[in-house]
Amino acid sequence: MADVNQQTIIFDDPQALAAGVAERIQGRVQAAADRSAPFHLVLAGGSTPQGLYRQLALGGERPDWSRVHFWFSDERCVPPDHRDSNYRMVRETLLQSIDAPARNVHRIACEDAPQQAAQAYDAELARLAAPGRRWPRFDLVLLGVGEDGHTASLFPGTPVLTVRDRGAAPVYVEKLASWRVSLTYPVLNDARRVLFLVAGGKKAGIVSQLLGANAQNYPAGAIRPRGELIWCLDRAAAAGLPGAAAERR
């Protein structure tokens, strides 16, 4: 397997993690400001990134969000104002506080049937792709990890893990008895940079698996971008790692 340019950074606590990752994101967006191409950012769902998004919202007009395209790693198949909606979470913690043009926010329209929502997202990815490509090459993908080693909605044992011909696909999650739409491995692994954001002692076990020899046993372990892979952890989530495994902040 091709080597991945990987690094692990450990922060004291969730607040330091949010502040440190927010600073990295602001820096990356700012550094791309003089490029003609837009900055394509994929946002993770769930609870962990909420502190980060609130931190980014505090930055106001820094960075210049007007050239950033916001995408979603996955979505629950619920209406956009449902309490479980990742879009609603991102709107409330970040988007409503920054000046991001609505045309640059690419929501997964999960009020539609899962297959239809996935096909529509795949078409939106293609619409924004450079000539000859199926999807944009994402500048930065934020991802979380579940205790079972899933990431986005790439859950263990689901058919979406084998999808190679589309950028987005529907997935039925048996244990949650619910449908989701997820970005797929080809589009995630094509990214310039993937950043896992993981916090809390409950994730220490899966983190030590994913940063150890058994990574390939889990869906998150197959995230091997051709660009950079950065694990940003708080101390609690890093508790199972050997001492020298990471740079501490």
Q: State how far the Cα of 72 lies from the Cα of 149, in Å rounded to an integer.
A: 19
Let me know: does 192 contact 230? Beta carbons within 8 Å.
no
Q: Are 171 and 226 in contact (CB under 8 A)?
A: no
Q: Least distance to ligand 6PG from the beta carbon of 3, Å?
A: 25
Comparison of 10 and 143: residue with beta carbon closer to ligand 6PG? 143
The minimum distance between CB 176 and ligand 6PG, in angstroms, equals 9
Centroid of chain to Cα 185: 12
The answer to whether the Cα torsion of 98, 21, 197, 7 is positive or negative is positive
Residue whose C-beta lies closest to ligand 6PG = 144
With beta carbons less than 8 A apart as the criterion, state whether 63 and 30 touch: yes
- Give least dist CB 187 to ligand 6PG, A: 14
Binding footprint of ligand 6PG on the chain (CB under 6 A):
44-48, 73-74, 86, 144-146, 150-152
Nearer to ligand 6PG, 81 or 99 (CB): 81
Tokens of 19: 């502040």
Least separation in angstroms between residue 198's CB and ligand 6PG is 8
Give the residue with the Cβ less far from ligand 6PG, 32 or 173.
Answer: 173
Is the CB of 151 or the CB of 184 nearer to ligand 6PG? 151
